[in-house]
């Protein structure tokens, strides 16, 4: 099944390092960063899972939970967890799905046979509280992900859900935003501070204070 932004993220029940989890029930009302890694006891993956653990409080501020997955069995995940803590300085604080029969990986199209073998590539799904897929990223096995970017996208998605805005290239929280093309400039000046019309279709404004 091919997944598209706006689709409902497929539900599943699976064993994890925190016990059996039913995805939609577990995430109930939260944003989720659901990401796959190729294998336990591998170097890039160790750094990625430690980095995700270190972001726990940043994710919590954004009502976001992390969930990892690989096709290794749960015993392997549990045996690997102390290495993540030792190497990165942060104990594992989110569940890793064990998917040895590849059911969830196939549901989310996380196995790309051209990438070497039948382990998962580095897929990322950001899923909103209504279970909708809001972002999909796919990285090769050899390249560790930029988790600052993942937090930045959550900030941008939450900002664009709150107000009729979009975010420009390389936007970071606190920077100026783009007024949605659905809002006239006449209405924009009532809604936003310091509206500047660069082109009729490109109006910058200060992000509404919260
Ligand atoms: C790693 O995590 O280092 C890795 C895993 C599979 C393929 C390449 C790198």
Residues 72 and 174 in one domain: no
| Active-site annotation holder among 45, 156, 165, 179 | 45
Q: How many CA atoms lie within 13 A of 45 on its CB side?
A: 24
CATH at 117: 3.40.30.10
Strand, coil or helix: 172? coil
Quote the pLDDT of residue 107: 98
**Coil vs helix vs strand at 91:** coil
The model's pLDDT over 87-123, given as tens digits with 9 standing for 90+, comes to: 999 999 999 999 999 999 999 999 999 998 889 999 9
- Concerning whether 45 is annotated as a catalytic residue, the answer is yes
pLDDT digits (tens, 9 = 90+) for 131-149: 999 999 999 999 999 999 9
Distance CA 162, CA 20 (A): 34
Torsion sign over Cα 159, 146, 139, 177:
positive
Range of the domain at 170: 163-206
Q: How far is the CA of 37 from the centre of ligand 1 (A)?
A: 8
CA–CA gap between residue 39 and residue 154 (Å, rounded): 26
CA of 9 from ligand 1 middle (Å) equals 26
What CATH number is associated with residue 184? 3.30.1020.10
Q: How confident is the model at residue 207 (pLDDT cuts 50, 70, 90)?
A: confident
- Under the banding of pLDDT at 50, 70 and 90, the label for residue 209 is confident
Number of structural domains in the chain? 2
């Amino acid at each position: 099944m091919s997944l598209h932004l706006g689709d409902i993220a497929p539900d599943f029940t699976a064993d994890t390092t925190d016990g059996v989890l039913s995805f939609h029930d577990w995430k109930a009302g939260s944003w989720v960063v659901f990401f796959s890694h190729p294998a336990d006891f591998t170097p890039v993956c160790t750094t990625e899972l430690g980095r995700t653990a270190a972001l726990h409080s940043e994710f919590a501020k954004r009502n976001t939970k992390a969930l990892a997955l690989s096709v290794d069995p749960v015993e392997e995940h549990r045996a690997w967890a102390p290495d993540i803590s030792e190497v990165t300085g942060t104990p594992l604080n989110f569940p890793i799905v064990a998917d040895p029969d590849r059911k969830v990986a196939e549901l989310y199209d996380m196995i790309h046979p051209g990438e070497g073998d039948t382990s998962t590539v580095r897929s990322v799904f950001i899923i909103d509280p209504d279970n909708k897929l809001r972002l999909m990223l796919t990285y090769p096995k050899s390249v560790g992900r930029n988790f600052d970017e993942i937090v930045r996208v959550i900030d941008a998605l939450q900002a664009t859900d709150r107000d009729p805005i979009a975010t420009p290239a390389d936007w970071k929280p606190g920077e100026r935003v783009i007024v949605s093309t659905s809002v006239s400039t006449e209405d924009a000046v009532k809604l936003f501070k310091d509206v500047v019309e660069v082109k009729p279709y490109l109006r910058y404004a200060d992000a509404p204070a919260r």
